[in-house]
Chain A
C-alpha cells in the first residue's frame, strides 16, 4: 500500500521539471552556457571544415549533430552537478515520490534545455549558411534524437557526478553508447536535407525510435540503482 499523501506520478514529475525551470530562470546558467558553446562549435566548424556552399551540403547534418551532442553534454553535466553540489538530490530522494518520476522529470528538464538551444541554433544555422533547416522531417529527427540523448544522458550524468572525475567522465561514458543514435540522426537529417525518398530515410527513423524506446525504458528501470545511497 502506498501512503495516501503520495502525490501522483505526473504531478511529481512536473514538479521536478518546474523546479529546474524556475532555478534556470533565476540563474540562467545552463541555457546561456549551452547556447554560447553551441555557437562556438558552429563557428569552429566553419573554419575547420571550410563550410563553403559546395562542400557543406553533405556535412551540414554532421555539424548540426556534433553541435547538439557537445552542447547537450554541457547541459547534462550542469543540471546534475547542481543537484549534487547544493544537496538538492538528497532532498529530492527524501520526497515521498517514485524515483522514476524524478528521473523522467530530469529528462524532460534536460530535454527542454536542448530544445531551447536547438530553437536558436537551427534558424541561425539556416541564416548563416543559407540552407533551409526548418523542414518538418528534420525537426522530427531533432525531436527523436534529443529525446534519446536526454534519456540516456540523464542516467549517465547522474552516475558521473557521483564519481571522483565528475564532468570529465560524462562524455567518455556517454559518447560510445549514443553512437547508434548519432549515426541514425545524422543519416536521417542528411536524407531530409537532400530530399531523398522516404524509403532511404525510413530505416534510420526506425532505428531512432527503437533506440529511444529501449534506452528510455531501461534507464527508467535502473535509475533506482544509481541514486541509492
Chain B
C-alpha cells in the first residue's frame, strides 16, 4: 500500500476508536445494577473479538503458507499472532477489572477465561518457537505447523472446560431464543456494535502496518546477507 493510503487509514482508525470511546462514555446509558464498571464491557468484548479474529487469521495464513510457501503468508501469520497476543491480554485485563466488583474475584476458572488464557499461552509459545530458529524458511514452516495445531486445540480446550458449568454472562443469546437476540438496551447495542466495528478496523490497520514492517525486516535481512558476502 502507498504511504498516503496508510495515513488515511490511520486517521480513520483513530477517529473510529475515539468515537467508540465517546459513545461508551457519553451515549451508552448507565447499567442499572453494575453501574460504571459495566462500561468496560464494550472494549472488553471488542478486544476479545480481535484476539480471536487474529488467531483465526494466523491459522489460515499458516495453512496458506504450507500450501504455497510465499513469504507474505508467513509474515501475515506472524503479524496476526502478535496482534492477537496483545488484544487477548487486553481482554483478560479488562475482564478482571469488571470481574473484581461483579464476581468479587479477579479471576475464576470459567471456560472463556481459561480458554483465553491458554490461547494466549499457545501463541506466546509460538513466538518463542520462532525466536529459537535462525533459518527464516524453517522458522516459517515450523510456525505455520504450530499455529495450526494451536488453532485446533483451542476450541477443544474450550469444550473440555465447557463440560463444567460456566458463570460467564452470555450477553448475546443463541438465535431461536424467546427473547431478542441481544439482551441489551438499544443504545448499549449501538455502542457495542460500533466498538466491535472500530476494533475490527483497528485490527486491519495494525495488521497491514505489521505486514509492512515484516516485509521491511525481510528486506533488511537479505541486504545484510548480501553485504556480508
Contact = CB atoms under 8 A, between A and B. Distances in A.
Interface SS of chain A: helix
Interface string A141-154: 00000000000100
Interface stretch (B8-16, B77-85, B149-157): B149-157
Interface in B109-139: 118, 121-122, 125, 128-129, 132-134, 138
Residue from the set A183, A203, A210, A228 with the largest chain B CB neighbour count within 10 Å: A183
Given A180-B153, A207-B156, A169 B122 contact: no
B159 interface: yes
A178 B133 CA distance: 23
Interface residues of B, number: 27
B152 A207 contact: no
B144 interface: yes
B134 A164 contact: yes
18 contacts: A152-B149, A155-B145, A155-B149, A160-B129, A162-B142, A164-B134, A165-B132, A173-B125, A173-B129, A177-B122, A179-B118, A180-B153, A180-B157, A214-B152, A218-B152, A219-B149, A222-B145, A225-B142
Interface of A: 152, 155-156, 159-160, 162-165, 169, 172-173, 176-180, 183-184, 187, 203-204, 207, 210-211, 214-215, 218-219, 222, 225-226, 228
Given A162-B142, A180-B157, A218-B152, 10 more contacts: A159-B145, A163-B142, A169-B132, A176-B122, A177-B153, A180-B160, A214-B152, A222-B66, A225-B141, A225-B145
